[in-house]
A = this chain, B = another copy of it.
C-alpha cells in the first residue's frame, strides 16, 4: 500500500474530484518540482497570500525570511497555513467558453507553521536549503555570520494533510461540439531557464561549479528542481 495523506474535510478535493490525489508520491513530486510556493495565513481575520521560496524534507516543508517579516513574526506560536504549489502546464482553447481551461499540477498542503529557533537546526536547515537547490554549493560559500543567522527566520511545518490536483487532458469538448468548424488547441506553457549571467564582478579564474551542471539554458525549471531533489534527498 502506498503512503497516503489523510483525507480530511479541508483537503478533500470536492470539485472535479477525479483530479485529486493524496498519495505521498504524487504530492511530493509536485512539491519537489517547485522552488516557489504561495502561503495563505490569517492575521486578525485578514487573509494574506505570500509568495516565497520553500523546500521539502520528508513530510516537512521549510521556508524563511527576515526576522522582521510580519508573516513570520506572527507565526511564532504556530500558525495554521495552507502552502500551495501550482505548475501551469498549458492553455486549453476549447470550442465553447465553458470548456476553456488550463492544464496544471497543484498541491495544497496544510499544517501549523512554527519558527525553528534551535540555532544548530537552523544553521543545518539553511545550509540544506542552499544545497537542495544548488547541489554541493553551501560548502563553497563564505560561511554565514552569527548576525546573518540571527536576521534569518526559519519556518517549518509538518504536512498534516495535503492533496494534489492534476489536469492534463488538453482539449475536452462536448462530444457534439467536435463536429463544429471552430478552432481548438492546447498551447503548452513551460517555465524555463535562460542563459546564466555570471556576476560581472567575478574574480578571474572562478569557474562555474559542477553542481550547477543541470542549470543550462532552455531547461525546464520543474525538471531541474525534481532532479536536484532526488540527488540531494535520495529515497
Chain A residues in contact with chain B, CB under 8 A? 10, 14-16, 35-36, 38-42, 45-51, 53, 65-66, 68-70, 80-84, 86, 88, 90-91, 93-98, 100, 102, 104, 106, 108, 110, 126-127, 129-130, 133-134, 137-138, 140-145, 148, 151-152, 170-171, 173, 177-199, 201-203, 205-209, 212, 215, 221
Contacts and interface: CB of A to CB of B under 8 A. Distances in A.
A188 B183 contact: no
A206 B181 contact: yes
A130 B100 contact: yes
Instruction: Give the secondary structure class of A's interface.
Output: mixed
B187 A96 contact: no
B47 A45 contact: no
B126 A49 contact: no
**Across chains A and B, which 7 residue pairs bring their CB atoms closest together, nearest first?**
A188-B194, A40-B49, A40-B40, A38-B38, A184-B199, A51-B86, A40-B47
A99 B88 CA distance: 29
Contacts of A98: 144-145, 148, 151-152
Contacts of A83: 49
